[in-house]
Amino acid sequence: MGWSALAVAVVMVATWLVSLPLRNASIIDPVWPIGFVVVGWVAGLTGRGDALRVTVLVAAVTVWGLRLGVHLFTRNRGHGEDFRYVEMREKHGDRFWLISLFTVFATQGVLMWVVSLPLQLGSGIDGRATGWAVLLVAGIAVWLLGFVFESVGDAQLTRFKADPASKGQVMDKGLWRYTRHPNYFGDACVWWGIFLVAAGAGGWAWAAVVGPVVMTTLLRRVSGVTLLEKSMAKRRPGYEDYVRRTSPFIPRPPRALPDTPTATPN
């Protein structure tokens, strides 16, 4: 776990240093999933866990992290700094270069270390819990469900945004018909799947449940759904109706909205 903490610190400080001449703290977004890949490999190489479990954990986080990192880099390229960091830069002025080290990079580094606990404990504990094979299969299945939801949801939204006819419209097709955030739901499932695989080590590995709990909370209540939807209703006509009929997170069939009553002439 100490090696993983060091790896996180190196990734975050290096990213902060690069952000300074670029004047763009947004580079943390594509680096975030890549950081988990680094942690996964460090934990796998320094741990003493079961070879099969470690291989699955490292492979799962590598496939997830590289795909998401490339997607976020491609999506953000050429768009400048995210509005969240622009507001912080305006608030703190000339001090932002230093403040960002703690409020942006160090904070996300701590969260990365906590969320990655399944990788650290699953790779570090040399043991097999009762029913470890069931946990392994269940974890892979949940991870696969999440990876499909996240990658397909991202691809569908990318195509939607690339279509000029979609300008100002609400994306409510494909997976987005069943959940307003299939990518966030998928992300959460990925980490619950990784946790289940890690839990196969038994013992203290079960404490790693804090990882997916924190990730799910962030996605559902903090930086994911809640933060994004504060601005969506203002920017997308019809988004409020979309909210009323569509699940915010867990996929389900959309609700049928009542017809708008028409005025009756006197």
**CA separation for the pair 223, 130 (Å, rounded):** 36
Q: What is the pLDDT of residue 66?
A: 98
Residue 54 has pLDDT above 90, yes or no: yes
Q: Mean pLDDT over all residues of the chain?
A: 90
Average the pLDDT over each of 55-69, 86-100, 250-264 and give the range with the smallest value. 250-264
Say if residues 153 and 186 touch (Cβ distance below 8 Å).
yes
Q: What one-character-per-residue DSSP string does 141-159 give? A: HHHHHHHHHHHHHHHHHHH
Is 9 a residue whose pLDDT tops 70? yes
8 Å CB contact between 160 and 221: no
Q: What length does the chain have?
A: 266
For tokens 């190489």, name the residue: 45
pLDDT of residue 160: 93
Q: What is the pLDDT of residues 206-250, one digit of tens each?
A: 999 999 999 999 998 887 666 666 666 566 667 888 888 999 899
Q: What is the pLDDT of residue 235?
A: 65
**What predicted TM-score, i.e. pTM, was given to this entire model?**
0.90
pLDDT digits (tens, 9 = 90+) for 78-95: 888 988 889 899 999 999
The pLDDT of residue 231 is 64
pLDDT greater at residue 240 or residue 257: 240
Lowest mean pLDDT among 186-190, 224-228, 259-263: 259-263
Greater confidence (242 vs 11) lies with 11
pLDDT at 144: 98
Note the pLDDT of residue 165.
87
Residue 129 has pLDDT above 80, yes or no: yes
Comparing 28 with 228, the larger pLDDT belongs to 28
User: pLDDT category, 102, cuts 50, 70, 90?
Assistant: very high
**C-alpha to C-alpha distance for 194 and 116, rounded to whole angstroms:** 9
Full 3-state SS string of 164-231: HHHCCCCCCCHHHHCCCCHHHHHHHHHHHHHHHHHHCCCHHHHHHHHHHHHHHHHHHHHCCHHHHHHH
The string of pLDDT tens digits covering residues 104-120 is 999 999 999 999 999 99
